[in-house]
Amino acid sequence: MMKLFKQKAFERFWQSTSGKMGFEITIAIILMSLLAPILNPYDPATDRNYAARLKPPSFEHWFGTDGLGRDILTLVWYGLQTSLVIGLISVGLGLIVGVFLGLVAGYFRGWLETVIGWLTDILLAFPSILLAIAIITVTGPSLSSVMVAVGVVQVPIFIRLTRSMVLSLREQEFVQTVRAFGATAWWIIFRHILPASLGPLVVQATLSIGTATLEAAGLGFLGLGAQPPTPELGTMLSDAFKGGYSLSSPWTIIFPGLFITLTVLAFNLLGDGLRDALDPRLS
């Protein structure tokens, strides 16, 4: 039965236009970021040419140059690397913490559910970007601080999703049967309930990577993200606006903004395709 479901899910995914587009764009973005050090090595200490600053796109510099004479295509490549690292690690952090707390709240109920519910409500009471700014203000702006801040923002989303899944599964017949045979609570949670909840969690994690990328770019634009000389797409936008050449040299904001948009769009389309493929009602 499970093998048949996986086969049908795979077929539904490749029949989904949004899923295929998201997958292809995502793979292209990942390959670009991974191949950057091989195809175009970058040294922030030396890869600048003030004589070539703010040059428009040309055969020599496909995306033009920025205010320091750096090749924008190279910066975008490495900025994609930074964005993907932030997205994957922050969502991974939010996924691990949120899923665990959601499993505990949904299965054990009682005072644990109340305390975790309060924590979730407190985190959700603040707009995500303001909560991230508050965390970075305390920890200091850095790449690791951005990962932690964006990860914390993702935690309540996974808590609520996981808890709702557990509440619907804990009274199912297969869980009751395993419990009747004397299985421990943790065995039931991690061996039966969690695997049955993976579909929605995978979809949410995929969508959250796009959200995390956008939030990281916003923090970078505010000067709270990855610090120089680390290339980051939001920081590139900030440098163009602060330098006052965003209008006179529009390529300095067009290309970083375009790749932020493409990254968010790719993971949203991929998540949409996975949602359609993993929906058990379509099996």
d(CA 269, CA 121): 29
Report whether pLDDT(254) > 50.
yes
| Average pLDDT over every residue of 243-269 | 90
Instruction: Examine the pLDDT at 202 and tell me if it is beyond 70.
Output: yes
On the question of pLDDT at 74 being above 90, the answer is no
- Asked if the structure places residue 88 within a domain, the reply is yes
Q: Residue 203 sits in which domain range?
A: 18-37+64-278
Q: Tens digit of pLDDT for each residue in 131-158?
A: 999 999 888 888 889 999 999 999 999 9
Does 1 map to a domain?
Answer: no
**pLDDT bracket for residue 53 (50, 70, 90):** confident
pLDDT at 6: 59
Structural domains of the chain, count: 1
3-state secondary structure of 249: coil
Note the pLDDT tens digit of each residue in 3-30: 544 566 667 777 778 888 999 999 998 8
Percent of the chain with pLDDT over 90: 36
The answer to which of 37-51, 110-124, 156-170, 256-270 has the lowest mean pLDDT is: 37-51
What tokens does 222 get?
Answer: 């505010």
pLDDT average, residue stretch 120-125: 90
- In the chain, which ranges are continuous DSSP H helix? 2-15, 17-39, 72-108, 110-125, 128-139, 143-169, 173-180, 185-188, 194-196, 198-221, 233-243, 251-278
209 is a domain residue: yes
Residue 127: inside a domain: yes
Q: Quick one: pLDDT at residue 8?
A: 67
Domain assignment present for 54: no
Q: Is the pLDDT of residue 90 over 90?
A: yes
Give the residue-averaged pLDDT of 218-232: 86
Residue 47 placed within a domain: no
One-character DSSP codes across 119-170: HHHHHHHS-HHHHHHHHHHHH-SSHHHHHHHHHHHHHHHHHHHHHHHHHHHT
First to last CA, the chain: 10
Give the bridge partners for 71, in sequence order: 65
Residue 1 has pLDDT above 60, yes or no: no
Determine, yes or no, domain membership for 72. yes
DSSP letter at 280 equals G
Mean pLDDT confidence for 74-93: 91
- The answer to whether residue 161 sits within a structural domain is yes
For the cut 60, the answer to whether the pLDDT of residue 267 exceeds it is yes
The overall longest dimension of the chain from CA atoms, in Å, is 77
Residue 65, beta-bridge partner list: 71
Res. 170 pLDDT band, cuts 50 70 90: confident
Q: To 10 degrees, what angle do helices 110-125 and 143-169 make?
A: 140
CATH for 106:
1.10.3720.10
Structure tokens at 152: 């914390």
pLDDT at residue 160, as a whole number: 93
Residue 78 has pLDDT above 70, yes or no: yes
The CA–CA distances, whole Å, from 134 to 82, 152, 274 equal 22, 11, 33
